[in-house]
Amino acid sequence: MPALARDATVAIFGAGAMGAGIAQVAAQAGHRVQLFDARIGAVDEARRRLAETFATLASRGKMSEADARAATGRLETIHAVGDAVSARLVIEAIVEDLDAKRELFRQLEVVVAPQTILATNTSSLSVTALSAGARHPARVVGMHFFNPAPLLPLVEVVSGLATDPAVAQTVYDTAVAWGKVPVHARSTPGFIVNRCARPFYAEALRLYAERAADPATIDAVMREAGGFRMGPFELMDLIGHDVNFSVTRSVWEGYFRDARFTPSIHQQALVDAGMLGRKSGRGFYDYSVDAVRPEPATEPPRAVPDRLVAFGELGRASQLVDRIAAMGAPIERRERHPAIPDGVIAAGGALLAPTDGRTATRRAAESGARDLVVFDVALDYHACTRLAVARADSCSDAAFGAAIGALQSAGLHVSTIDDAAGLVVARTVAMLANEAADAVQQGIASAADVDIAMKKGVNYPLGPLEWADAIGCARVRDILVNLQAHYGDPRYRVAPLIARRCATGGRLVPER
């Protein structure tokens, strides 16, 4: 089955922000669009707003005035389910309730032709469960847009157990024709994005619970070192803690309370208090008019050590050595020294080492290097503006100052966090990669589609599997193993696909 013909009618049930957004996309793509909502006046209001949107787009040169008028003319409000009789694709975007969606599909099956595709925009409900009891379950498929639908490119095309692969492919090809970036997914809790994104919030919340750092510092590190557009706390505040917590709880319960998805009692407390983020004026941050945004913890300037030496293989962190040298600080490169741990930078009396998931204190005790400071992963050590560090309990103030001065010589802001295992970016990226690898292992989506979904759906700077390949699969495994040893928590168990790739030396994302 090819993409839906342009002259085919698309019916959208639900005229809220998501339904209206999908209607805009379909109308701009050239389809006659029928818009329905059970609320009195909702469809007429949605059509009025869409007409204004098209006019605004035309005034800004985003589309011609003729195209704006034509798109508006293709919008039709309907007031009964039976009015969708001629639709060839129905997309429901009604309340996120399984029984309500099933009832709508039951009513539609009496009206529409047998070949009409019934698509659900659900973000969390099982497509398999939605199609159960349908006359033609093979035509029920997920078509999950991301909000706002006209702007965000990703569409998850979700197949339930009964979905005909040809139906899923038609929806996929139709999404492409509409200018979207679709990915195929199997119907499991959270699909791709809402499942694989859970560690982005969960690891930050765990660090917060441990009082390793405050939200402003964690957010700054994730933005300025990790390359994420928003930090986890400001993103949760933007999404709304009621929504974010509900999704986490849904995925957790959907996977029979797997420890990997355990919700945070701290986020539950915010929900209970009505501190939902931006929409309520208070979340992790205060959004009142006179509120002052907290600054991240940043080390004051320190002197640059007279001598810096990089020993052994630093992997991706060798970029940091290059950056220090480029900034004019004296740094030597030497082969591994028998008396010094491999892959470290000697700075005055301190040793700077990239995190491997152990706390600095444990690593210092096991290596015998008392004055140890560990530093975090960065998306690009050449370009990042901030780096997180942690010092071993045995590290002297003088040695710690020398380590900070060495990093500052590269033009970096340095944020010290309490000695938490895996620091900030490293543990988050490792867990994102682990969750993505598990999704691939379970056949929920291909490695390429998982990475596309996370980049296009939530704007990650790299796909989690792509990032793991860049860091090194073995390093990701080591971070996870050390996190599990530190916490004794099964949430950090290594995904079988990562273990297998480490054994074979292969990549998580096959090269094309």
Two tokens, residue 258: 């797997």
* Cα 266 to Cα 302: distance, rounded to the nearest angstrom: 36
- Asked if residue 434 lies in contact with residue 449, where contact means CB atoms within 8 angstroms, the answer is no
Our answer to whether residue 194 is catalytic in this structure is: yes
Which residues lie across from 333 on neighbouring strands? Answer: 310
CA–CA gap between residue 350 and residue 402 (Å, rounded): 7
With beta carbons less than 8 A apart as the criterion, state whether 155 and 180 touch: yes
Distance CA 76, CA 57 (A): 20
Query: Could you confirm whether 144 is annotated as catalytic?
Result: yes
Antiparallel, parallel or unpaired: β 308-311 and 344-347: antiparallel
Is 234 a residue of the active site?
A: no
Catalytic residue among 121, 123, 126, 409: 123
| Bridge partners, residue 308, by sequence | 331, 347
**Beta-strand pair 350-354/344-347:** antiparallel
Residue whose pair of structure tokens reads 């204190």 in the numeric block: 361
In single-letter form, the type of residue at position 75 comes to: L
Q: Quote the tokens at residue 94.
A: 């009604």
Give me the catalytic one of 194, 409, 434, 482.
194
Known catalytic residue at 266: no
In this structure, are residues 222 and 204 in contact, taking their beta carbons and an 8 Å threshold?
yes
Q: What is the largest CA-CA distance in the chain?
A: 81
Catalytic residue among 31, 136, 156, 244: 156
The H or E element spanning position 268 is helix 265-273
Q: Which residues are catalytic?
A: 123, 144, 156, 194
